[in-house]
Amino acid sequence: MTEVSQPQTILFSPLGDTDPVRDCYDGACLHILRHYRPDMVVLFYTKEMVEKEDRDHRYTRVIRHLMPEIEIQEIRTEIEKAHLLEEVFPILPDSIKEIHAAHPKAKILLNLSSGTPQIKTLMAIAAVEAAWCQGIQVSSPAKASNRENRAAKDDEDIEAMIEQNLDDDPQAENRCLEPPMRAIAYYGEKNRILSLVNAYEYGAALELAKAIPEMPETARKLIGHAKFRQELMLNKARSVIDHFGNTKLLPYSETKERLVEYFLTMQTDAKKDKISQLAVKIVPFLYEYLLAYLKEQSRLPLESVCDEWDNRLFFKRAKLKQNAPDMLAFMDKKFNHIGLNDNTEISAKTMHYICQYLETSGEVKDKEKHDSLLNDLGRIINYDNRKISKHTLLDIRNQLAHRITNIDRDRFISWTNIEPGEMLDIFWHMLRILYGESVGNQRNMYEKINGWIQTAMNESVTA
């Protein structure tokens, strides 16, 4: 059985009063056929054009004269008021999609120059939205408006129309133009992507960017980097792009990088007003921070008073009694004279107590830094807050873990007696205490990335 060949190129063409020939020149439909030679033409008729075709077959006769072997399909509609968008809209776009569905591998040419302004508008929208379409405009022979060109009359002699067509001359000008419809589409898509980028919604922005061939590769990579970075998949972020110009995007060692990047996710949560997400990150941040700080600044190693099991640290009273008896006495008092239980797990709260003890014992490497840290911790973990609010920052995660609730900005402030932005400023100062001023240029990294993405997306693209 012989396989029916599929069309490689299809022209979808509405028809207007200046088709098929206008004032001794091709109308738009015929001119596109002449210069593109598609395998098939689909003619979209309004009711008025159906009547003209049935009267003298003017459209199909002229097309057959030019291309005797071309396959012609007709879409005959009952549209009477083609100047009303609501009459045309329910039919025309779906007709184009049906042709594509029937011939998904074919390139579809769209005649943008025939029909009413409403029809032309819908055809242009289709050309902008669908990558499998190519919009084609046909300029008038005078390179000006068609208003002065007479339309083909209802009683016109079709043979005379064909005979007098000046575009049959092999030297006649090709008046077909391919407007940059994809560039127009990219402009709209670009703005949607930038809106998502500026809202720190990098995952959604990346999904859109993947579907846009015109998207500059640098912009796509930066969006991908930001997505993985925000998800703390730092090695993957680095593999997508690790430098932009002379800027190393992830410049720190592993421990420093982990803490700084975690802070940046908290900061974007606050900017997106996702306060519940911010709240659950507070205790992990403080835990990791204080662990790093004590390893850096304490002259008394945690290993000398703790045991490690399954990557967790637990106080051992025997070790405390042997290596730091004064700390044991201090901790027992902090636990309301009940005493520190053996195997109590190290937490952000107990490390705050250790920092307070080190202040009295003087077992810190840099007293000025330590005083500054204790001042910061006192502002955010002030147990006297319980007199004016329900919780401290160290309590908030447990509260969220045991109830179905959402925390907005006002509730966060009422619970903790601190505004999220003020808390983040303190956290950032704490990072600078630990890592020095070199972290300073990282705080606005996502804003910098967003600016680089916008710059990259403004690069010229070829439609």
Residue 105 sits in a domain whose CATH number is 3.40.50.10770
| pLDDT at position 152 over 70 | no
Q: Which of 367, 207, 394 is nearest to 285 (CA)?
A: 394
Is there a domain that residue 82 lies in? yes
* Percent over 70 (pLDDT), the chain: 90
Q: 152 and 25, same structural domain? A: yes
Who has greater pLDDT, 347 or 253?
347
Residue 415's pLDDT is 79
| Domain interval for residue 61 | 9-178
Quick check: 350 and 331 in contact, CB under 8 A? yes
Q: Which residues contact 160 (CB under 8 A, 6 or more apart)?
A: none
Question: What does the pLDDT average to over 315-320?
Answer: 93
Whole-angstrom Cα distance, residue 52 to residue 45?
10
Residue 376's pLDDT is 94
Quick check: 208 and 214 in contact, CB under 8 A? no
Q: Which of 178, 193, 221 is the last residue of a domain?
A: 178
- The mean pLDDT of the chain is 87
Task: Please count the CA atoms within 13 angstroms of the CA of 291 that sit on its side-chain side.
Answer: 20
3-state secondary structure 226-295: HHHHHCCCHHHHHHHCCEECCEECCCCCHHHHHHHHHHHHHHHHHHCCCHHHHHHHHHHHHHHHHHHHHH
pLDDT tens, position by position, 422-433? 999 999 999 999
Question: What does the pLDDT average to over 47-52?
Answer: 94
| pLDDT at position 69 over 90 | yes
Element at 11 (helix H, strand E): strand 9-14
Residue 389's pLDDT is 45
Least confident piece of the model among 4-13, 79-88, 137-146, 151-160: 151-160
Residue 413's pLDDT is 85
Whole-angstrom Cα distance, residue 214 to residue 457?
9
pLDDT tens, position by position, 245-281? 888 999 887 778 999 999 999 999 999 999 989 988 9
Q: 129 and 14, same structural domain? A: yes
pTM here is: 0.69
Q: Which of 178, 203, 232 is the last residue of a domain?
A: 178
Whole-angstrom Cα distance, residue 321 to residue 313?
17
Q: 157 and 273, same structural domain? A: no
